[in-house]
Amino acid sequence: VLAQTLDTYNRHAKINEDPIFHKNRFTQTISVPPYYFGIERLCVHFCCGGVRFNKNAQVLRKDGSVIEGLYVCGEASGGLHGHDRMGGVALTSAFVFGKIAGKHSISQTT
């Protein structure tokens, strides 16, 4: 059964079309032992390090003083999550501090 399943999969992979599950994107056939499924690539997922900032998203100097007019959020910001972060919160922090930065910068100019 396994050999038949692999044979069917490989036929579909070669033509990039699977009439059973309607998959149309294949990266490889599974044909040379030892068998691995999927080609893995390393990539940077999230960086905890970055520019120090305060609750207004203002960038801080080493001594903790504010650099007026300079804001940061998202990947460029650092220290919010400590040494590690909970999955899924990177985008939240980018959106939240992006909005805070926008609001705060406008409040400083009006």
Residues interacting with ligand FAD, by CB under 6 A? 43, 45-46, 74-75, 88-91, 94
Side-chain-side CA neighbours of 50 within 13 Å: the count stands at 22
Q: How far apart are CA 101 and CA 108, in angstroms?
A: 11
**Nearest of 43, 48, 55 to residue 89 by alpha carbon:** 48
Closest chain position to ligand FAD (CB): 74
Residue with tokens 């909005």: 99
Least Å from the CB of residue 56 to ligand FAD:
17
Residue with tokens 């990039």: 16
Least Å from the CB of residue 42 to ligand FAD:
11
Least Å from the CB of residue 92 to ligand FAD:
6
